[in-house]
Copies of this chain bind each other. A is one copy, B any other.
Amino acid sequence: MNTFGHLFRVTTFGESHGPAIGCVVDGCPPGLELDPAEFAHDLQRRATGKSRHTSARREADVVEILSGVYQGRTTGTPIGLLIRNTDQRSKDYGTIAAQFRPGHADYSYWHKYGIRDPRGGGRSSARETTMRVAAGVIAKKWLGQRFGVRVRGFLSQLGQIRPAGFDWNAVEDNPFFWPHAAQVDELETYMDALRKSGDSVGARVDVVADNVPPGWGEPVYGKLDGELAAALMSINAVKGVEIGDGFAAAAQKGTEHRDLITPQGFLSNHAGGILGGISTGQAITASIVLKPTSSLRLPGATVDVDGNVVEVVTTGRHDPCVGIRATPIAEAMVALVLMDQALRHRAQCGDVGAVSPRIPG
């Protein structure tokens, strides 16, 4: 199960410290212009080593297009993408190869497979998400050209800190994808102290997709929100997903939650743009929570593969807050879901859906 999607299918492979990571994007419509250079922007947004607040590993993340593109356009055949790993330091992992970090996937991988690649987390490493972002670039482009869909994310919580204001323009101007410029100094200070302490912290990321047409989503087991939940929960360290008001809805009344409709538009968006698993034409809004990294310099009680009691300390390069870099990854997953649903909708219902009455999104 290393394939995501039904009609726009992304199959990824590769370990953190293996020779390369890659993916196959299958089902892309033919004729889309695609240049290897287009991957750089989102890959750099996701990359480590750009600020002191992320892991120090520096990967060039140069994408090679191996197939599926001819004379600069997609041909409809599978698009093979490859990125060579260049900055592995596997010796960092010698000491923990036989120990289970509390909260880390090395314990569960061991029990599932009876064997695992311990270097850098192997397959469970966030390195895999590089290919999600690469595939997401293709989806974002097609959705944008075809429907004007725009998928954007931001960090909406870092530890206890929440945004004190909101401006989309601020998001890309700081290393935290934070929507309020005035708080960036506070975040820097917080992260510096955290890093020195050897501890890590959780975070929350919000994603918004504008201009999604009404009608996307396949009830009842291919609902748009169901697939967004699966896609977002599949991101490393994610422990929760909300659509629209999410868990706040538990305390809401029906008169409070329902989004009234006028010919000029909906009067609110508690639903997050999805009703009955199908898009309404409003902005799709989703939120995720990412747990704090489990690879810590602070010792923790655990066992080794022989069942002995040990104290584990992780000395490799790790993000003190994996949530920060999750923003472009979450955007990519939302884009992949939307692209897949767009094609599925077109398959069953044709290019043009029912359009009356068309309420502005």
Contact = CB atoms under 8 A, between A and B. Distances in A.
Interface stretch (A43-51, A67-75, A165-173): A67-75
Contacts of A256: 292
Contacts of A200: 253-254
A357 B26 contact: no
A13 B80 contact: yes
Interface string A84-111: 0000000000000000111111111111
Most buried by B among A11, A236, A345, A355: A11
Interface string A231-248: 111101011111111111
Given A2-B24, A29-B348, A112 B306 contact: no
Interface in A165-189: none
A123 interface: yes
A108 B274 contact: yes
Contacts of A323: 250
B350 A253 contact: no
Nearest to A18: B67
Contacts of A3: 3, 9, 11, 26, 221
Contact of A356 (B215, B229, B248, B305): B305
B291 A252 contact: yes
A144 interface: no
A275 B67 contact: no
B30 A78 contact: no
Contacts of A242: 239-240, 247, 289
Contacts of A78: 2, 11-14, 123
A241 B240 contact: yes
Ranked nearest first, the 6 interchain pairs of A and B with the lowest CB-CB distance are A105-B276, A1-B222, A114-B354, A103-B258, A307-B357, A200-B254
A134 to B, nearest CB: 14
Nearest to A302: B261
A60 interface: no
Interface residues of A, number: 159
A287 to B, nearest CB: 8
Most buried by B among A2, A14, A26, A228: A2
Contacts of A328: none
Contact of A239 (B123, B245, B343): B245
A59 interface: no
A229 B346 CA distance: 26
Contacts of A289: 242, 246-250
A27 interface: yes
B253 A292 contact: yes
A34 to B, nearest CB: 12
Interface string A329-361: 000000000000001111111110111110100
Contacts of A234: 220-221, 223, 226, 277
A282 to B, nearest CB: 10
Contacts of A272: 239
A214 B112 contact: yes
Contacts of A105: 219, 275-278
A66 B107 contact: no
A225 B233 contact: yes
A349 B292 contact: no
A77 interface: yes
